[in-house]
Amino acid sequence: MDSKQKRKTPFYYYLILILFPILFFVLLEEGLRIFNYGDNYDVWLRVSKTKQTLNPDVARRYFKNIKSPPSSIQDVFDVEKKKGSFRVFVMGGSSAAGYPYMPLGAFSRYLQQRLQLVYPQTKIEVVNVAITAVNTYTIRDLLPYVIEQKPDAILLYAGHNEFYGALGVGSMESLGRSRKIVNLLLYLNKFKTFQLLSDLITKIKKAFAPKGKVSHGTLMSLMAKNKYIGFNSEVFREGVEQFKGNLRDIILTCKNNGIPLVIGSLVSNYKGIEPFVSKKFKRYPAAKEIYKKAKMAELQKSFISADSLYRFAKDLDMLRFRAPEVFNKIIFSLAGKFHVPIVNIDSVFSANSPNGIVGNNLMTDHLHPTLGGYFLMGAAFADELARLKIAPRGVRVNYPLKVRDKLTRLNFKFSKLDSVIAEYRIKILKNDFPYKKPSESIPLNKLLKPKSFVDSLAFVFLEDKISWEKAHRLLAKRYLERKDYENFLKQMDILISQYPVITSYYQTVVKALLDLKQFDRSYKYFKEYYEIQPNAFNTKWMGIIALSHKNLKEAIEKLTESLKYKDDDPQVYYNLAGAFALKENFGKARQLVAKALKLNPNYAQAKRLYEELKNK
């Protein structure tokens, strides 16, 4: 063999070169997970053995520059979808989440309560995972996790945050303008190794960044980095393509997984809010010029022309807090192409507005509906699901459509406190950019002037001194102390609907109702309590109430179950003896009442029953 001939490099040498860096990153990733490095980006968070909700920290995937990222309205649903249950997910931004009436005022809550009205015996889950200040990047990223939860349908209402929402082309939370790169980075962000690298880069940037004032203000004002975006400018077109591309991906993902998707067209306040930033741009006129023409056209009763001009003025507004008209064109175009049903929210709002032009009648600000507006949205989605025959299984109560709407509105879970919170939120919103210059903003203690206990609770909540939950709990306590039992129960129903896994709520309600001897009324709370956490207390009272209605099968079943949790309650033995006596099983009844007397020899009712049973 020629001594100059090079030795052939062994195959395993190249294999090691390839595998070593892979192994390094695998071990690094596992090590970071073991030591719980960084934020928890798990999408679902267990809140009990059987219930889960959207992880409040998942928004940190999309918000890196905001100290306190927003979260969803924290709807709770079953970890394992129950057989025969009906599950719908709602996705979008703040309008889908129900701002400023969050968490109770979202259209999803109307839909939930209306479906439950029509299908009272079916398990209905309308799960709202919408997050304030997010756009289609977030929705696209979360969608696979939503699909894993086996929804019967997904409802989408999104588009207003496309420019300034997290990762949008004009947002302070930007990862660049390339859709492919942003979606790749979102995928990588799920790994702890990428979080580590990202954190190192952020620290280096902060170390070399000039020190300035800390930014304050509403989330809306903080998110608008590239504030002014001209109509049909390069950035505007990039935002349009971003929306179109992500929406197309969302539609195809649902199609490929066989999940029905229903999209709502976008609506905003065309008439009631003047354009925020009005400047001539290229060949286009200033937004306020067109807005004035719209006003004039409406005065002249040229309502179709006025509506068109109001919409054009909104599109010319260089501050893009309201979706441009082209977004609805994209929604209708893609929906038509892929045969996706649309709920025309824009048309519904127009039909319910004076002169067919949406303004302050249905809007609290530039784009968030009033509570009545959210009811309209919920009804429109409910009607569309019915038309598509996407409906729960089980016994149906055939109310006419108008009756369904009327009853849902009449019994809607909402309180005076929620109204005041919403009112204050809008005042705070309109006290900041873009409604006012920072120098014109009024301090919170002068802007909001509480006049009642309810007002005070709303105020301290919005100052972040107490939670929404505590504010409602304190109000319920106040009603109970004043013996205003109806409002007490209303507040507790609200708390239970929002946080169904907190057992202390059920305990508070049933204790009050038992003290009032309203046993029948307490039954539904005992039943709900039992479904969350069966114990000696709720099974005992479910059994006693069933016995009072001569429902012997349930009485014996629940009272017997109560003894499994606690076997020294004479009241349980006494009532169980009564149930067996009514079944004419006198031997068993005597045995049980004797046990009750052994535990409590002075139990007068048990003594009487024992004497009655002696000769039987």
Mind giving me the DSSP string for 492-503?
HHHHHHH-TT-H
Instruction: List, for residues 134-152, the tens digit of each pLDDT value.
Output: 999 999 999 999 999 999 9
Residue 180 has pLDDT above 80, yes or no: no
Which residues contact residue 15 at a Cβ distance below 8 angstroms, ignoring those fewer than 6 apart? none
Which pLDDT score is estimated for 369?
Answer: 98
315: tokens are 């599109």
DSSP H or E segment with residue 462 = helix 453-462
* Distance, CA of 160 to CA of 239 (rounded, Å): 11
* Phi, then psi, of 445 in degrees rounded to 5: -70, -15
The hierarchical CATH code for the domain 44-277+317-414 is: 3.40.50.1110
How many Å is the Cα radius of gyration of the chain?
30
Average pLDDT over residues 36-64: 86
Average pLDDT over residues 352-369: 97
What proportion of the chain, given as a percentage, has pLDDT over 90?
Answer: 75
Mean pLDDT across the stretch 515-521? 95
At 476 the pLDDT is 97
Closest-CA residue to 514 (of 548, 467, 482): 548
For the segment 294-320, the average pLDDT, to the nearest whole number, is: 97
**pLDDT above 90 for 80:** yes
Q: Is the pLDDT of residue 533 over 60?
A: yes
In 3-state terms, what secondary structure has residue 90? strand
- Position 190 scores a pLDDT of 72
Mean pLDDT for 554-564 is 96
In 3-state terms, the chain is what percent helix, strand and coil (to 5)? 55, 5, 40
Q: Which fold has domain 467-613?
A: 1.25.40
Whole-angstrom distance, CA of residue 13 vs CA of residue 20: 11
Q: Tell me: pLDDT of 248 over 80.
A: yes
Counting residues of the chain whose pLDDT is more than 70, the rounded percentage is 86
SS3 51: strand
Q: What is the pTM (predicted TM-score) of this model?
A: 0.88
Nearest partner of 95 among 435, 419, 371, judged by Cα: 371
**Distance, CA of 264 to CA of 154 (rounded, Å):** 11
Of 401, 382, 157, 341, the residue nearest 267 (C-alpha): 157
d(CA 515, CA 483): 12
Question: How do residues 189-228 score in pLDDT, each as one tens digit?
Answer: 777 666 666 666 566 655 655 554 444 555 555 555 558 9
Residue 213 is predicted with a pLDDT of: 45
Task: Extract the tokens encoding 102.
Answer: 């969050």
Structure tokens at 583: 């079944």
What's the confidence (pLDDT) of residue 227?
Answer: 80
Question: Band of the pLDDT at 376, cuts 50, 70, 90?
Answer: very high
Q: Which of 126-130, 203-207, 364-368 has the lowest mean pLDDT?
A: 203-207
User: For the chain, what are the domain ranges?
Assistant: 44-277+317-414, 467-613
* Predicted pLDDT of residue 597: 95
The tens digit of pLDDT for each residue in 390-449 reads 999 888 999 998 999 999 999 999 999 999 999 999 999 999 888 988 888 898 888 999
